Amino acid sequence: MREHRCRDNRDTAVTHRDHGYTLIEMIVVIVVLGLLTSVVVVAVTGIRTEAADSGCGADARQLAVAAEAYFAQTGASQIPSTGAGNDRFEQALVDGGFLRSASATHDLDADGTITTQGASSC
């Protein structure tokens, strides 16, 4: 019988480089990932700010429409006060079915004037 030997692909006289990543390559990858992360964070923050501003504007428009609908349906020039506090005129619109709930960011006066609450983010 003939003897057959399998040769190993490694030549002992020549040193082969390990196929892992060098420290410099790892640092470059980490820096690139850090830059991409910061770009995403900035973009998301901008979108979040735009969404908050849009929500504030929509809330103010909703109050204005509800007040105008109240004035049109009742013929009154003032919204009656229901209860006490800053939401007393909004509560009258809620009770009349013109709003679902009082605004958390704006206040409504008896004549329909809308002001931003001091503690709100608007």
User: What averages of pLDDT result for each successive group of 10 residues across the chain (122 residues)?
Assistant: 52 60 93 95 86 87 94 92 85 92 90 84 76
Query: Is 108 in contact with 90 (CB distance < 8 Å)?
Result: yes
Residue 87 φ then ψ, to 5°? -95, 15
Give the helix, strand, coil percentages of the chain, each rounded to 5: 50, 5, 45
Report the alpha-carbon distance of residue 109 to residue 88 in Å, rounded.
9
Query: Is 63 in contact with 99 (CB distance < 8 Å)?
Result: yes
Per DSSP, which regions of the chain are E strands? 106-108, 114-116
Query: Is 79 in contact with 93 (CB distance < 8 Å)?
Result: yes
Report the alpha-carbon distance of residue 112 to residue 99 in Å, rounded.
14
